Amino acid sequence: MAANILRVEKLLPALLLLYAAASLVHYTHNAEFLRDYPNMPSGLSRAQVYIAWIAVTAIGACGYALWRRGRSVLGLSVMAGYAALGFDGLVHYVLAPFRDHSVTMHLIIGLEVVAAAMLLAAVGRAAIHE
């Protein structure tokens, strides 16, 4: 069991960074090509997209800080919520059909969702071993 905890302690930071990077790629693409994304809210600005990424990423950082400071259940819960936010990119397919998105959009959305799923799985594993 101690070996599992050590692996999780190394895995969680790496997966947090992977998801943060994947979400940054997605949010940056959204911000820079906002008008190319079909049916995005007309009032949404480039700056708002970047601010949203900062806010979302801060949630993950807070969860990790709580976990590292021994607040395991709370920290893992916050990190699970952060990871779940990674599935929000799938809302693009609610706003517009799959065919209306470019290949790049699909890849970027997929990258974020896969990274979020990996983080969520690791958080779940850590919760089981707590």
Residue 82: both structure tokens together? 């952060």
Domain interval for residue 102: 2-128
Residue type present at position 69: R
Query: How many domains does the chain fold into?
Result: 1
Q: Model confidence at 78, in pLDDT bands (50, 70, 90)?
A: very high
Q: Which residue has the tokens 């976990």?
A: 67
Segment 2-35, tens digit of pLDDT? 555 557 778 899 999 999 999 999 999 999 999 9
89: exposed, middle or buried (Cβ count in 10 Å: 0-12, 13-18, 19+): buried
What is this structure's pTM?
0.90
